[in-house]
């Protein structure tokens, strides 16, 4: 059953909560009311069908969407929309594959039970701008969920928003504390709001290898290997990357 709620005049963000579990909807509504006063919940829905109707009726800025719902899950609901003109924050229990797909697309999610500080951070990232690039991110998500082996793009979160990058344009990635520099062809460099460990996990199954604690390389962009204690590789952009002793054997097994 859909509960329509009168928005306050001062709220900046109109939100809809879609979750089949009553207690999850009630808890999230309470948390938003208490910790995120800039959010006005205009509807609560207990199914994907109700969610679709509420989105059409209210034109929300933000939708909190449960991933695991019977009959129509959150991903299936989104695929039924002809246009995505709102931000999406997925809410989910621990589903490793779904979470990886969401992160691969630079989309946001909250793990149940939802932590109030994580909720605040998600709301703080919501754009008030009318321009919305959510459709591009969701397209990457849907492809990833359909397990298309040849999915060739990843969305990297940046300080400005996100950037969609073809995988074959990535030469290497270098750790910078809690951020990562991604070096691309044509001498382009991105500062990405993810750790190198996170990027390594996301690119699992693609031709990338962590050859050093601070370096992840595209195996297709290695030009040569130079022997040494661990040695180093020369990349297609003439950069050199050290190979740690612990990763040397793994690298050599791929090429030898």
pLDDT digits (tens, 9 = 90+) for 103-124: 878 788 999 999 999 999 999 8
Show the low-confidence residues of the chain (pLDDT under 50).
7-11, 129-131, 149-150
The closest of 41, 58, 96, 99 to 75, measured between CA atoms, is 99
pLDDT tens string 51-90: 999 999 999 999 999 999 988 999 899 989 988 889 999 9
Residues 180 and 220 in one domain: yes
Task: Return the CA Rg of the chain.
Answer: 21
| Residues 112, 181 share a domain | no
The token duo for 156 is 């990297």
Is 13 found in the same domain as 78?
Answer: yes
pLDDT for 4 equals: 64
- Distance of alpha carbon 216 from alpha carbon 233, whole angstroms: 12
Q: What angle do CA 157, 88, 78 make, to 5 degrees?
A: 120
- Whole-angstrom Cα distance, residue 238 to residue 4? 59
| 205 is a domain residue | yes
Residues 130 and 237 both lie in one domain: no
Residue 12's pLDDT is 82
CA distance 185 to 162: 18
Alpha-carbon span 139 to 175, nearest angstrom: 28
The predicted structure's pLDDT at residue 8: 45
Q: What is the pLDDT of residue 5?
A: 59
Task: Give the global pTM.
Answer: 0.66
Q: How many domains does the chain have?
A: 2
């Amino acid at each position: 059953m859909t509960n329509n709620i009168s928005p306050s005049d001062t709220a900046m963000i109109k939100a809809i909560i879609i979750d089949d579990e009553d207690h999850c909807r009630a808890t999230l509504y309470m948390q938003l009311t208490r910790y995120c006063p800039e959010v006005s919940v205009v509807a609560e829905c207990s199914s994907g069908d109700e969610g679709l109707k509420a989105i059409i009726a209210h034109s929300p800025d933000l939708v909190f969407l449960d991933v695991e719902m019977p009959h129509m899950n959150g991903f299936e609901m989104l695929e039924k929309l002809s246009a995505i003109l709102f931000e999406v924050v997925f809410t989910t229990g621990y589903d490793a594959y779904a979470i990886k797909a969401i992160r691969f697309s630079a989309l946001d999610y909250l793990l149940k039970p939802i932590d109030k500080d994580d909720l605040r951070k998600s709301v703080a990232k919501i754009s008030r701008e009318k321009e919305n690039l959510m459709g591009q991110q969701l397209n990457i998500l849907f492809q990833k969920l359909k397990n298309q082996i040849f999915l060739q793009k990843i969305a990297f979160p940046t300080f400005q928003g996100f950037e969609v990058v073809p995988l074959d344009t990535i030469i290497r990635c270098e750790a910078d504390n809690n951020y990562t520099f991604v070096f691309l062809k044509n001498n382009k460099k991105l500062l990405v709001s993810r750790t190198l460990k996170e990027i390594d996990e996301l690119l699992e199954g693609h031709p990338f290898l962590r050859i050093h604690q601070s370096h992840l390389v595209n195996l297709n962009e290695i030009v040569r290997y130079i022997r040494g204690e661990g040695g180093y590789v020369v990349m297609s952009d003439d950069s050199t990357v050290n190979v740690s002793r612990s990763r040397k054997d793994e690298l050599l097994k791929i090429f030898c």
